[in-house]
Structure 1
Amino acid sequence: MRNRRIATAIAATVGAFTLFSTQASAITWENDFATGLSPSSSGSSVWSYSPYEDANAAFQENGDWFFVSDNRADGFSGVAEWRLYNTSGTLVRGGYVWMNLGAGESRWQNKDFTEGYKLQFRACRGHSGGTYLEHCDSWVTTTA
Structure 2
Amino acid sequence: MPSTMIIKKSRLATLAIAASAFTMIATSPAYAWPTEQDVATARPNPDGVPDCARATSGAKACFDEFGDWFYITDRYKDGYSAVALWRVKDANGSVMRGGNVWNRDGAGTTRFKNKDLPEEYYVDWASCVGDYATKDILEDACGPMTRIINN
Aligned counterpart in structure 2 of residue 102 of structure 1, from 100, 106, 126: 106
Match of 1:28 among 4, 9, 34: 34
| C-alpha separation in 1, matches of 2:77 and 2:95 | 34
Contact map agreement 2:128 2:137 (CA 8 A) in 1? no
Identity of aligned residues (%): 34
CA contact (8 A) 1:50 1:135 kept: no
What code does the residue aligned with 1:97 have? V
1:44-59 map, 5 Å: 44-52=49-57, 54-59=58-63
The answer on 1:140 being equivalent to 2:146 is yes
Residue 131 of structure 1 is aligned with which of 133, 136, 143?
Answer: 136
- Inter-partner Cα distance in structure 2 for 1:93 and 1:46: 20
Contact preservation (8 Å) 2:91, 2:122 = yes
* Equivalent pairs, count: 116
**Normalising to structure 1: TM-score of the pair?**
0.74
The match for 1:82 is 86
Q: Which residue of the partner structure matches residue 73 of structure 1?
A: 77
TM (norm. structure 2) is: 0.71
User: Which consecutive residues of structure 1, in runs of 5 or more, have no partner in the other structure?
Assistant: 1-26
RMSD (Å) for aligned C-alpha atoms: 1.6
- CA drift at 1:68: 0.2
Selected match of 1:61 from 40, 52, 65: 65
The code of the aligned residue for 2:101 comes to V
SS state at 2:124 partner = strand
Amino acid at match of 1:31: Q
Q: Which runs of 5+ in 2 are unaligned?
A: 1-32
Contact 1:31–1:96 under 8 Å retained in 2: yes
- 116-125 or 131-140: bigger deviation: 131-140
What is the CA–CA distance in structure 1 between the aligned matches of 2:56 and 2:75, rounded to whole Å? 12
* Structure 2 partner of 1:117: 121
Q: Which amino acid aligns with 1:38?
A: P
Equivalents in 1 of 2:43, 2:66: separation in Å? 16
Partners in 2 of 1:84 and 1:48 — Cα distance? 15
Q: What per-residue deviation string (whole Å, max 9, x for no partner) do you get for residues 20-46 of structure 1?
A: xxxxxxx6310001004235x522211
